[in-house]
Structure 1
Amino acid sequence: MSTWRARIEQGLNVKPGEGPAVMAGLALFYLLFTGYFMLRPVRETMGVAGGVDNLQWLFTGTFIATLVCLPLFGWLASRVRRRHILPWTYGFFATNLLLFAVLFAYNPDDLWHARAFYIWLSVFNLLTISLAWSVLADLFSTEQGKRLFGLLAAGASLGGLSGPILGTLLVAPLGHAGLVVLAALFLIGSVGASIALQRWRDRHPLPATAEHPASRPLGGNPFAGATAVLRSPYLLGIALFVVLLASVSTFLYFEQARIVSETFTDRTRQTQVFGLIDTVVQALAILTQVFITGRLARRLGVGVLLVAVPLVMAAGFVWLALAPVFAVFVVVMVVRRAGEYALVRPGREMLFTVLPAEDKYKAKNFIDTVVYRGGDALSGWVKRALDVIGDHPQLAMLMGAVIALGWGLAGGWLGRRQRQLEAQNLGQEPATAAGAPNTQPPFI
């Protein structure tokens, strides 16, 4: 048994003693993403119900809601112990889900309930996922992140695979209200997984965290994340990367809404189609995350994870401009999302492992929520303007190709800068690792 265990650990780049942490991290992401991806097709259906031509308003509303949530999360992160940030945040969102379940059960066809849920879930998914990655970046070293983040992301893809299946099968018998209650239970389960991960790190502390345990609050002010980004070229580079990523995603998202609404008119059928796309995406992502991502990061560096997908997407946009049909769109969308989950997201999270603890929570959260949703809102209006001016989807797709090339250039620069910071930290580990005071110069 021990021989087989050793072989499995070696094949997955897991070192002795890391098994419990890997299992807890996988469970954290699996439960979180299963609940979210059960609700994602519901969100898409409700977005279409409000009218495809009104999606830019939903994106703007999401951005405004994100701005409201930022200081609240910043206050929480500054005041409570680091190990309690995730449980308190997830507990709040689980309560929100139960409230929406009541609203859907009482009046399932109310358009304003649908719009409110669309905006709420769009804020929820970025904040909760960003916070889960913040915990991992805080608890794992840079070397562990390179080996394990791709594997841990497979838990997200497993959840992203089972969530749409459950949603597709259960939406008819349970209705949208029942799916929301079930998602709340999965979210509470992910809290338990995060507690287990924290306890593992307590038993196996990193050398640099011995004097600054996760039991202490981060301190600072609620807006420290925004100011940190503005003072750091490295964090500004990550913010630009996220804006370009969001723009690419938004251009495809609007095209998805247009094509699906024209091809399928029934709301239940739309939810099933969205769920089927999610299932295919996650199945491809899992294989890449388990067997390829970690090895690419260790041998070729983080940069390759950040550049490959943008270059492929530039070609995909050109193809979609030449053949704007449902089959081509599905191929491009699946490749983009599978590549983002398997390569871009783990690579993006590895960028934060070289930063101080406060930046891993506050600056990262600011980038993952406000910056991302700001990019969503801006690109949503740009996409709508292109559609109105030219009334040709091909124009927006060609613009998307240009944005994807810029996305790739930003990823290449970040990969090189991350290697430089990692090399610096190897000689200054006690001063800059997770949990230590922020003694790095203002311009990271």
Structure 2
Amino acid sequence: MLKRFVDVRDEEVRAVLGSFVYFFTLMCGYAILRPIRNEMGTAGSVKGLPWLFTATFLVMLLAVPAFSALVARWPRRVVLPRIYRFFLVSLLVFFVLLKLEVAKEPVARVFYIWLSVYNLFVVSIFWSFMADVFASEQGKRLFGFIAAGGTTGMLVGPFLVGRLAEPVGPVNLILISAVLLEVSAQCVRWLSRWARDVQHQPPSAEGPVGGGVLAGLKLLVASPMLLALGLQVLLYAATSTFLYFQEVQLVAQVGKDAASRTALFGDIDFYVQLLTLALQTLVTGRIISRLGLGAALAVAPVVTGLGFLGLAAVPVLGVLVAFKALRGASHYALERPSREILFTTVDREARYKSKSFIDTVVYRGSDTVSAWLQGGLTALGLGMTGLSLAAVPLAGLWLGVSLYLSREQRRLSREGGDELAPAAPDNAAAR
């Protein structure tokens, strides 16, 4: 039955289904935790959120090089299970502390920071592992279906939160995420055995890998195209932060208690993922293949600009939910795949190192600056309407960067697919 939808070989079926389950459980577990984190972010009022964003960025500056050092020194078959076990034990500790209400507000804030770091690594580690298990030719055929597992997980997770948060209690949902994370860890072990026994991968295929943030930064500075890609991510993150603060404020006004607020966050995430899945299956391929990257890249900033204008005119929760659903779907279903296509035109050094730097440090740095900027504008007396209007020029700049990137991609295609970044020196490539 799977072969009707996916170009999969007989010997690959079990691994593809296992990878689908792996990504589903990973993202479903995270999607259950995210509404809980968002509700905890309201503890002590919305004014404390800039400090949480700053702390998250500082922790990220330590976590990214630490992770790079681990994978550079030890094979992934050792590193991945240990990382999952670390996060699993952390989850259980948070469950006990929150259940016993030990230092409730400080623990909630630490949990907020912890999950903000965790969500970066789960996706990065997953796709790194997929690249180890499957060959390039297999990835072209199979990764689309495997990615749908993550989208499905991000759809099911908020649905469960929306239905279980009030009758079961938000804290108890952490146990569901812990179980799902253990299933993800078991999938890693099973897929490693499949790669060895069926793919006949040599032991060296799981050996230590190199990499580092500084190399990615050097390539980023040297390439105007990579700088534009970084600016695109920065503007997306900045407008996301503005929208997130609006969401927290509106949910805090409507929700009567922690359970109802958690359920509201879960419902918002559910609608975002539902629309994303619909666009991924029905629209993404058609837009990119028929209209090109320019149209696909332009949708998200246009939706963002119009959405903030609508939110400025009618600052109510219903408008925000519709705005966030359309924006999230256009980003995950159209802009993000298009951006990954752009990264296929850079050299391998830039693809792995500069992309890592952009997706982590640039993204979290933008979060932090935007959070403090939003706080400053609020202190100057700007309400929700003023903050929404302040985000519109950012969306306009984002649109301009996106159109520049699409023009550069067309130019490079006409010139024969030259790479966007300078080739790394031999010694850098060897690292």
TM-score (norm 2): 0.84
Q: Deviations over 1:21-79 (max 9, x none)?
A: 64344323211111011111111111112211221111111111111212211212322
Does residue 150 of structure 2 align to residue 156 of structure 1? yes
Which one of 207, 220, 227 corresponds to residue 216 of structure 1?
207
Partners of 1:387 and 1:131 in 2: CA distance: 37
Q: Deviations over 1:328-359 (max 9, x none)?
A: 11111111122222223333334444455565
Aligned to 1:404: 395
Q: Which amino acid aligns with 2:322?
A: V
Which one of 1, 14, 28 corresponds to residue 22 of structure 2?
28
Which one of 336, 350, 357 corresponds to residue 327 of structure 2?
336
What is the CA-CA distance between 1:313 and the residue it aligns to? 1.4
Alignment of 1:39-438 (within 5 A): 39-82=33-76, 86-107=80-101, 110-136=104-130, 151-172=145-166, 174-194=168-188, 214-221=205-212, 223-355=214-346, 359-417=350-408
Partners of 2:63 and 2:395 in 1: CA distance: 29
Which one of 5, 8, 18 corresponds to residue 5 of structure 2?
8
Asked whether the 8 Å contact 2:8–2:142 carries over to 1, the reply is no
Q: Deviations over 1:348-398 (max 9, x none)?
A: 334444455565554333222221111011111111222221323222212
Asked whether the 8 Å contact 1:35–1:182 carries over to 2, the reply is yes
* 3-state SS, counterpart of residue 390 of structure 1: coil
Q: Percent identical across equivalent pairs? A: 40
Asked whether the 8 Å contact 1:37–1:164 carries over to 2, the reply is yes
Q: Deviations over 1:260-297 (max 9, x none)?
A: 11122311110111111111111111121123323433
Asked whether the 8 Å contact 1:71–1:223 carries over to 2, the reply is no
What is the CA-CA distance between 1:20 and the residue it aligns to? 5.1
Asked whether the 8 Å contact 1:228–1:363 carries over to 2, the reply is yes
Partners of 1:234 and 1:197 in 2: CA distance: 36
What is the CA-CA distance between 1:179 and the residue it aligns to? 2.1
Aligned length: 424
In structure 2, relative to structure 1, the CA distance for the partners of 1:22 and 1:403 (3 Å cut) is farther
CA RMSD of aligned residues (A): 3.5
Partners of 1:137 and 1:424 in 2: CA distance: 29
User: Any stretches of 5+ residues in structure 1 without a counterpart?
Assistant: none
Partners of 1:25 and 1:137 in 2: CA distance: 12
Asked whether the 8 Å contact 1:309–1:344 carries over to 2, the reply is yes
Partners of 2:185 and 2:416 in 1: CA distance: 31
Asked whether the 8 Å contact 2:345–2:418 carries over to 1, the reply is no
In structure 2, relative to structure 1, the CA distance for the partners of 1:337 and 1:268 (3 Å cut) is same
Q: Which has the higher contact order (CA 8 A, sep 6+)?
A: 1
Point out the more displaced range, 282-291 or 79-88: 79-88
Partners of 1:395 and 1:419 in 2: CA distance: 38
Partners of 2:181 and 2:409 in 1: CA distance: 32
Q: Deviations over 1:391-424 (max 9, x none)?
A: 2322221221211122223233334545677899
In structure 2, relative to structure 1, the CA distance for the partners of 1:175 and 1:5 (3 Å cut) is closer
Asked whether the 8 Å contact 1:34–1:163 carries over to 2, the reply is yes
In structure 2, relative to structure 1, the CA distance for the partners of 1:304 and 1:266 (3 Å cut) is same
Asked whether the 8 Å contact 1:137–1:360 carries over to 2, the reply is no
Point out the more displaced range, 135-144 or 124-133: 135-144
In structure 2, relative to structure 1, the CA distance for the partners of 1:163 and 1:27 (3 Å cut) is same
Asked whether the 8 Å contact 1:285–1:339 carries over to 2, the reply is yes
What is the CA-CA distance between 1:137 and the residue it aligns to? 6.2
Partners of 2:9 and 2:79 in 1: CA distance: 29
Partners of 1:300 and 1:148 in 2: CA distance: 24
Partners of 1:422 and 1:95 in 2: CA distance: 48
Point out the more displaced range, 291-300 or 37-46: 291-300
What is the CA-CA distance between 1:159 and the residue it aligns to? 0.8
Q: Which amino acid aligns with 2:172?
A: G
Partners of 1:155 and 1:404 in 2: CA distance: 30
Asked whether the 8 Å contact 1:153–1:346 carries over to 2, the reply is no
* 3-state SS, counterpart of residue 261 of structure 1: helix
Q: Deviations over 1:160-193 (max 9, x none)?
A: 1211222234434654443223212212322344
Asked whether the 8 Å contact 1:131–1:365 carries over to 2, the reply is no
* 3-state SS, counterpart of residue 172 of structure 2: helix
Partners of 1:111 and 1:410 in 2: CA distance: 40
User: Any stretches of 5+ residues in structure 2 without a counterpart?
Assistant: none
In structure 2, relative to structure 1, the CA distance for the partners of 1:89 and 1:415 (3 Å cut) is farther
Point out the more displaced range, 125-134 or 411-420: 411-420
What is the CA-CA distance between 1:311 and the residue it aligns to? 1.3
Q: Which amino acid aligns with 2:21?
A: A
* 3-state SS, counterpart of residue 391 of structure 1: coil
Asked whether the 8 Å contact 1:131–1:361 carries over to 2, the reply is no
Asked whether the 8 Å contact 2:169–2:259 carries over to 1, the reply is no
